[in-house]
Amino acid sequence: MNLSKKLYILSFGCQMNKLDSALVSSALIQAGFILTESVKDADVVLINTCSVREHAEQRVISHLGHLKHIKKSRPDMIVGVIGCMAQRLGDKLLEHEAVNIVCGPAQIPQLAELITKAVNEKKKELAVTENIRRSAKENEHGALEDFESAYSSEDEIIPSQAYVRIMRGCNNFCTYCIVPYVRGPEVSRPPDTILEQIRKLADSGVKQVTLLGQTVNSYKYYKDERTWSLADLLIAASQISGIEWLKFVTSYPSEEFFDDIMHAMASSPKICKYLHMPAQSGSDKILKAMNRNYTASMYLELLDRARSIVTGIAIAGDFIVGFPDETEEDFQATVDLVQKAKYRNAFIFKYSPRPGTTAEKRWLDTVPDDIKQKRNAALLDVQEKISDKLSMEFIGNVEKVLVEGLSKKPHLNSKDSDNNPQLVGCTGTDYIVVFNGPVSLAGQFANVKITRTSPLTLFGELV
């Protein structure tokens, strides 16, 4: 293969997908590829896909249509679809005129080989897991472990930050969710491997590590007659020199290890006081239909415990509106939960049926789209008022911020900038902070005095 081939990667979906894209990018650069930001210049285009919502899949289909036209004038361009949609649709996706390679999440270590074969043999390549719910073969786990460790690196866009996966898959089977069918069963990675990966990242200058898992708080690894939990992993990682902040996403509302994780957070200044724990609904009827295994009162009790153990903790949530048979009363129960939960922010989505899930098989999509849209907007409005009130409490505070780099949107008055550009960063509690400062601060910590706020952003001056 010509070692100067240009590579373009487009990534959709969650942080797990972004991590996979970063690993693939790192591996292919080491194999001789050159990254390009222009799809028209690329010799190889990889689309890392998400199947959680229909909209995400439709965007992929739209991009493939665009690539089909580009390939008319550039027939040698290789197009690969990787990730969850690749695993879900498999050879059906390979039938698309534009697609040369379909590769599931467990097969990403094979990508360089698949690209080489597609180029040399001029035929389509398929690599997905045959029976996704069967425990992965030992050699497949080994390949993923080696790949993860070898190509883990600092975030290409945000300096000094990195993601480390601590587990793969999911065993919860929420009725609306496709993840267990495209990511497979839960598998926790060995703690020694994770900690060694974090040490290497720290040695390369990484200051913040975010631990990732589909349900990150269900991490469990048996070793030397001891069970490691997420709490143990956080405490061990916090002792690694060079790492200053540790975060983790996303948590499932569960009693198991919950207090241990909160006590670990409270005990170490390195473990950021931020908890992202989706509720999905405030109606017990809907929660039961979703197979969420808790009630609204149990969920709120977990939040109360988190706040009693960890002073100043910031909490984020997720919600789905318009689940089958959701009544106005059910929706009002969700509004009530959001008002009681007092989230820093919440991600709110309209229900869309995913093929193959229990909800799609069992129930009709009964809530009209205009009602879903109305409820989505109403819940966003409720949350915005809460976020605005919480943000205003920061005015006058000096906050420690890890600077990400230049802000994409101009928010501040340029005449007050001392000729410095506008920067953006994040607090330990995941608040976005915008301020003027030298570009050299990217990847560094800075103290910023908060002078103004919006519901989701803090504005300030460099101290």
Is residue 176 within 8 Å of residue 459, measured between CB atoms?
no
Lowest mean pLDDT across 181-185, 418-422, 448-452: 418-422
| Residue-wise pLDDT tens digits, 185-196 | 999 999 999 999
Q: Identify any residues that bridge with 317 across adjacent strands, giving them in sequence order.
A: 346
List, in sequence order, the alpha helices (H) in 310-454.
328-341, 358-362, 369-392
pLDDT at 3: 54
Q: How confident is the model at residue 412 (pLDDT cuts 50, 70, 90)?
A: low
Tokens of 144: 């993923």
Give the chain's mean pLDDT. Answer: 94
Ramachandran region, residue 138 (left: φ > 0; alpha: ψ -120 to 50; beta: rest) = alpha
Pick the residue with more confidence: 158 or 166?
A: 166
Q: 6-127 sits in which CATH class?
A: alpha beta
| Residue-wise pLDDT tens digits, 130-140 | 887 775 555 46
Q: What element of type H or E holds 35?
A: strand 34-35
Cβ contacts of 89-92, under 8 Å, gap ≥ 24: 90/126, 90/128, 91/126
The helix/strand/coil state of 82 is strand
Q: Which CATH superfamily is domain 138-392 in?
A: tm_1862 like domain (3.80.30.20)
Q: Which residues of 295-305 are buried (b: 16+ CB within 10 A; e: fewer)?
A: ebeebbebbee
The mean per-residue pLDDT over the stretch 362-367 comes to 97
Closest CA to 401 of 448, 437, 436: 448
| Residue-wise pLDDT tens digits, 366-386 | 999 999 999 999 999 999 999
The mean per-residue pLDDT over the stretch 31-39 comes to 93
What's the rounded Cα separation, in Å, for the pair 463 and 450?
10
Domain limits, the chain: 6-127, 138-392, 398-462
**In this prediction, what percent of the chain has a pLDDT beyond 90?**
86
**In this prediction, what percent of the chain has a pLDDT beyond 70?**
96
Pick the residue with more confidence: 152 or 425?
A: 425
| Residue-wise pLDDT tens digits, 47-89 | 999 998 888 999 999 999 999 999 999 999 999 999 999 999 9
Lowest mean pLDDT across 27-41, 181-195, 408-422, 426-440: 408-422
Q: Is the pLDDT of residue 2 over 50?
A: no
Q: Is the pLDDT of residue 418 over 60?
A: yes
pLDDT at 413: 58
pLDDT at 15: 87
pLDDT at 1: 47
Q: How confident is the model at residue 331 (pLDDT cuts 50, 70, 90)?
A: very high
**Range from 154-158, 170-174, 407-411 that averages highest in pLDDT:** 170-174
The number of CA neighbours under 13 Å toward the Cβ of 52 is 15
pLDDT at 288: 98
Lowest mean pLDDT across 145-159, 199-213, 339-353: 145-159
Range 398-462: architecture per CATH: Beta Barrel (2.40)
What's the rounded Cα separation, in Å, for the pair 149 and 194?
8
Is residue 340 within 8 Å of residue 301, measured between CB atoms?
no
Q: How many residues does the chain have?
A: 463
The mean per-residue pLDDT over the stretch 325-345 comes to 98
Q: Specify the DSSP class assigned to residue 396.
A: T
| Sheet with strand 345-350: strands edge to edge | 274-276, 314-321, 345-350
The mean per-residue pLDDT over the stretch 212-241 comes to 96
